[in-house]
């Protein structure tokens, strides 16, 4: 049998931090018997406090082996949920370590990133693309934060905002409808073809669809997005159905045929409901 070796705590923690997991938890194993307890409620509260004390102690011991303060702060953010770090604690950690992307990235990847932390990251760490990308991809990111990222200079960040917003546009949130539409309008204003898979399917405005189509690359996959949206204006469907360049591409003839069928179906429906002439 080969020799069994164990990693140093610092090496193990560094490896876990680099793995990119959004959520990490530290477990504290405890055994308790309540048979002989006079007051079970108080005893349970004592056990909970003991568990948190042991968790803190375990984390302190592991963090002590990390030589750099930024490493320690990045690790703390990775365990923020378990450590129950307050907003003020997190902001203090960021104020001293925001220049280190490992710190800001770990903060952005939190499962529940406080809005105040989001706002700090979006303004102070805006030049860190990896952090902004993680913030845009975080399901818990506030719509106001997405609004500030919708005009970010990095295309991948903007695409991530479009992807995140697309999912939220499908969810009915009356209090956020206006805010979500504002972010959507911003993305349309700075529209690029890469946004199409996220913006076109949830668009209900004919003018915006026509505007996006005018600057979208002519390809079968993009064309189908417009064909499948019932709000796409007739002129766009006609253009797709008659596009020679689209028909010459693999799968393009099928999309053009589907666009033609949609236009014909609409014309027939309108004809059926039109009043008969005198």
Is 228 within a domain?
A: yes
Is 111 within a domain?
A: no
Is 106 within a domain?
A: no
**C-alpha separations of 39 from 36, 43, 227, 246 in Å:** 9, 6, 68, 77
* Segment 199-215, tens digit of pLDDT: 999 999 999 999 999 99
- Residue 153 to residue 232: CA distance in whole angstroms: 29
Domain count of the fold of the chain: 1
Say yes or no to pLDDT of 67 above 50: no
Is 264 within a domain?
A: yes
Is 10 within a domain?
A: no
Is 98 within a domain?
A: no
**Residue 82, both tokens:** 């378990």
Is 37 within a domain?
A: no
- Residue 65 to residue 43: CA distance in whole angstroms: 34
Is 24 within a domain?
A: no
Instruction: Choose among 96, 165, 172, 103: nearest CA to 136.
Output: 165
* Segment 153-189, tens digit of pLDDT: 999 999 999 999 999 999 989 999 999 999 999 999 9
Percent of the chain past pLDDT 70, that is, above it, reads: 73
- Residue 218 to residue 176: CA distance in whole angstroms: 34
Q: Looking at 53-67, 76-90, 176-190, 204-218, which range is the least confident one?
A: 53-67
Task: Domain of residue 196: give its range.
Answer: 192-270
Average pLDDT, the chain: 84
Q: pTM for this one?
A: 0.73
CB-based contact 200:190 (threshold 8 Å): no
């Amino acid at each position: 049998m080969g020799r069994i070796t164990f990693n140093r705590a610092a090496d193990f923690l560094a490896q876990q931090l680099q793995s990119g997991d959004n959520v990490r938890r530290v477990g504290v194993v405890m055994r308790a018997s309540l048979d002989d307890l006079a007051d079970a409620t108080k005893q349970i509260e004592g056990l909970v406090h003991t568990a948190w004390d042991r968790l803190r102690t375990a984390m302190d011991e592991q963090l002590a082996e990390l030589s750099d303060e930024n490493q320690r702060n990045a690790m703390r953010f990775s365990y923020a949920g378990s450590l129950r770090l307050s907003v003020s604690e997190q902001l203090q950690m960021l104020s001293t370590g925001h220049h280190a992307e490992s710190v800001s990235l770990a903060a952005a990847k939190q499962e529940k990133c406080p809005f105040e932390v989001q706002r700090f990251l979006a303004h102070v760490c805006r030049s860190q693309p990896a952090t902004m990308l993680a913030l845009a991809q975080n399901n818990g990111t506030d719509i106001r934060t997405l609004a500030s990222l919708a005009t970010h200079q990095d295309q991948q960040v903007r695409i991530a905002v479009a992807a995140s917003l697309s999912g939220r546009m499908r969810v009915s949130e009356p209090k956020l409808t206006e805010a979500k539409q504002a972010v959507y309008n911003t993305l349309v204003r700075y529209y690029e073809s890469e946004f199409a898979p996220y913006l076109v399917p949830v668009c209900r405005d004919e003018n915006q669809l026509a505007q996006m189509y005018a600057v979208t690359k002519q390809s079968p996959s993009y064309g189908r997005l417009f064909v499948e949206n019932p709000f796409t204006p007739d002129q766009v469907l006609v253009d797709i159905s008659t596009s020679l360049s689209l028909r010459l591409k693999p799968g393009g003839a099928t999309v053009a045929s589907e666009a033609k069928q949609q236009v014909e179906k609409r014309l027939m429906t309108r004809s059926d409901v039109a009043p008969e002439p005198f």
